[in-house]
């Protein structure tokens, strides 16, 4: 699609000149925005992730999107790739066009609240027009994504009921759920690396909870598999709501509501370049799907799979990867941060401690490869910086955040 902005030059000038103000107050504005919006529209708590709100992660993601849009308000085509990525998440969550004016109204109220006198009528009017222009780009992109998801063979538009056909423990902390549609009809194929959103009504919880889970097996098998890590409580963090509920209370035969596969972190199967997968902890899931798909569709394409885990107790899918590594074109390397006594008695890991560039260079045959990685944010920062240091070009670096997208270049 292409976008044309019919905004008045004066409006564009005002919006662009407020970018530095937004940069200074961005998080404050979005924080206030959420407070106002949730108090007037508590029903939206059914779709927003409460933990992301509490930790400010979503505030930062939204602020960054708003700055980007403001900076490119006279050439919104330039932000289409970003809009598409966010659009995938929105489509997967079931965000609707009629919800955009609600967000717009509360964003303007928050700008007024935070900027006070600096938010003149002229500034507010300019922002109202700009928001409408930005929102219409999102709505258009998302319409295309909804239509695409529904038009696929076995596809659907919103949420669909899936029965848990099998629940399998993969490690002390990760459990897989094999899901089949309750209606018994076909399910759409997906690109390896894509995720689904799971919507849950948990007894005792006021609102529904929606979370994303990457599909961890290859497509085309008649089921979807998700593999969920239990986010246990620690001294300073409460237990994760959905992951613990799935582990403890959701059993074979139960039903989960899923939206159709989404996301742009995928393996490009039209390429023949060597491919490298680097996963940390449960970040293995999208990469495992890619590795399985590679085995089926491009068995001779050279691939290196590196997995980092604390130790073998929490190391999932070791057997699946060992089987994939029976092909000469596929090598598999393990890094344990803190090997157990048992691991030391039967060493099967290539590196102890944290992953670093020197070790990566010792096991990855070439830097002329496409690199895909996923894991906890500090792990992703380490990998990203190591690849940059090695001189891997940006267009060969692909990654996914298991939360709102962040910036890997910042501490
Ligand atoms: C694209 C994508 C793909 C994903 N794929 C997978 C996957 O394949 N497997 C998987 O296991 N996960 C995956 N995730 C993560 C998943 O969506 C959930 O975020 C995860 O399961 C945690 O959800 P939860 O409800 O258990 O925890 P939440 O209740 O959402 O809490 C999340 C974290 O925040 C902490 N927290 C909550 N409240 C506070 C507070 N007040 N202060 C401080 N900390 C707090 C919790 O302790 C927990 O560690 C993916 C995410 C995305 C975006
Ligand atoms: C132009 C307007 C909007 C912008 C710029 C915007 C921007 C964003 C961004 C950047 C993310 C994070 C994506 C990621 O990296 O995962 C996000 C997620 C999200 N957005 Fe929007 N959004 C807009 C409108 C809306 C609307 C109208 C709704 C619904 C009321 C909505 C609901 C959500 C939800 C629920 C998430 C996931 C956040 C979470 O649960 O943590 N957004 N949005």
Contact between 129 and 7 (Cβ < 8 Å): yes
Ligand closest in space to the Cα of 243: 1
Structure confidence at residue 411 (pLDDT): 79
Q: How far apart are CA 130 and CA 122, in angstroms?
A: 12
299 annotated as a binding-site residue:
no
d(C-alpha 263, C-alpha 227), whole Å: 17
Which residue, among 353, 277, 373, has the nearest Cα to 311 in the 3D structure? 353
Ligand 2: centre distance to CA 88 (Å) = 10
Exposed/middle/buried for 46, CB within 10 Å: 0-12, 13-18, 19+?
Answer: middle
Q: At what angle do helices 9-17 and 57-71 cross, to 10 degrees?
A: 140
pLDDT confidence bin for 361, thresholds 50/70/90: very high
User: What is the whole-number distance in angstroms between the Cα of residue 8 and the centre of ligand 2?
Assistant: 27
Kindly state the average pLDDT of the residues 286-296. 98
For the cut 80, the answer to whether the pLDDT of residue 130 exceeds it is yes
Inter-residue contact 44 to 102 (CB < 8 Å): yes
CB atoms within 10 A of CB 248: 11
Distance CA 325, CA 312 (A): 18
Catalytic site residue 264? no
The pLDDT, as a whole number, for residue 39 is: 96
| Catalytic residue chosen out of the listed positions 34, 129, 142, 332 | 142
% of the chain at pLDDT higher than 70:
97
Give 59's contacts (C-beta < 8 A, 6+ positions apart). Answer: 27, 30, 31, 34, 53
Structure tokens at 332: 């598999």
Active site residue 190: no
pTM across the whole model = 0.96
CA distance 33 to 18: 17
Q: What domains can be seen in the chain, in order of their start residue?
A: 7-149 (1.10.490.10), 157-257 (2.40.30.10), 273-398 (3.40.50.80)
pLDDT recorded at residue 347: 85
The arithmetic mean of pLDDT across residues 176-180, rounded, is 98
Q: What is the mean pLDDT of residues 45-51?
A: 88
Cα 97 to Cα 100: distance, rounded to the nearest angstrom: 6
**pLDDT > 80? residue 405:** no
Distance 336 CA to ligand 1 centre (A): 23
Residue 283 is assigned to a ligand binding site:
yes
Q: What would the two tokens of residue 58 be?
A: 């979503």
End-to-end CA distance of the chain: 36
Q: Does ligand 2 come within 6 angstroms of the Cβ of 136? A: no
Ligand 1 pocket mutation pick from 237, 244, 290 by most atoms within 8 angstroms of CB: 237
Q: Is the pLDDT reported for residue 66 higher than 80?
A: no
Residue 203 in marked binding region: no
Three-state DSSP class for residue 97: helix
Q: What is the distance in A from the centroid of ligand 1 to the CA of 88?
A: 18
pLDDT greater than 80 at residue 63: no
216 annotated to a ligand binding site: no
**Residue 351 and residue 367 in contact, taking contact as beta carbons nearer than 8 Å:** no
* Cβ–ligand 1 contact at 208 (below 6 Å): no
Measured distance CA(287)–CA(279) in Å, rounded: 7
Structure tokens at 329: 């074109």
Mean pLDDT of 328-354: 95
């Amino acid at each position: 699609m292409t976008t044309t902005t019919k905004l008045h030059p004066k409006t564009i000038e005002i919006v662009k000149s407020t970018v530095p103000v937004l940069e200074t107050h961005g998080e404050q504005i979005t924080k206030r925005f959420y407070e106002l919006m949730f108090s007037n529209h508590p029903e939206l708590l059914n779709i927003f992730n409460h933990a992301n709100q509490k930790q400010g992660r979503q505030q930062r993601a939204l602020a960054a999107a708003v700055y980007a849009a403001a900076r490119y308000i006279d050439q919104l085509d330039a932000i289409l790739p970003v809009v598409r990525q966010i659009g995938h998440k929105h489509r997967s969550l079931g965000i609707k066009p009629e919800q955009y004016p609600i967000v717009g109204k509360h964003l303007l109220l928050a700008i007024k609240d935070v900027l006070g006198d600096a938010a003149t009528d002229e500034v507010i009017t300019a922002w109202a027009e700009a928001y409408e222009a930005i929102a219409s780009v999102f709505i258009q992109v998302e319409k295309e994504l909804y239509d695409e998801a529904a038009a696929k063979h076995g596809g659907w538009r919103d949420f669909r009921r899936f029965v848990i056909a099998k629940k399998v423990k993969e490690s002390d902390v990760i459990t897989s759920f094999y899901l089949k549609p309750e209606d018994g009809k076909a399910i759409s194929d997906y690109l390896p690396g894509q995720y689904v959103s799971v919507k849950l009504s948990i007894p005792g919880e006021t609102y529904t909870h929606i979370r994303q889970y990457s599909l961890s097996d290859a497509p085309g098998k008649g089921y979807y598999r998700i593999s969920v890590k239990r986010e246990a409580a620690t001294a300073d963090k409460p237990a994760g709501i959905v992951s613990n509920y799935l582990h403890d209370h959701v059993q074979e035969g139960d039903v989960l509501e899923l939206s159709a596969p989404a996301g742009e972190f995928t393996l490009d199967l039209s390429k023949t370049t060597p491919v490298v997968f680097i996963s940390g902890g449960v970040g293995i899931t999208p990469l495992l799907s890619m590795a399985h798909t590679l085995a089926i569709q491009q068995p001779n394409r050279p691939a290196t799979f590196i997995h980092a885990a604390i130790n073998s107790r929490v190391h999932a899918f070791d057997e699946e990867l060992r089987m994939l590594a029976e092909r000469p074109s596929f090598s598999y390397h393990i890094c344990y941060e803190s090997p157990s006594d048992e691991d030391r008695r039967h060493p099967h890991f290539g590196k102890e401690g944290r992953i670093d560039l020197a070790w990566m260079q010792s096991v990855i045959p070439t830097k002329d490869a496409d690199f895909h990685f996923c894991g906890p944010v500090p792990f992703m920062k380490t990998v990203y910086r190591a690849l940059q240091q090695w001189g891997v070009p940006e267009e060969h670096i692909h990654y996914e955040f298991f939360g709102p997208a962040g910036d890997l270049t910042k501490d």
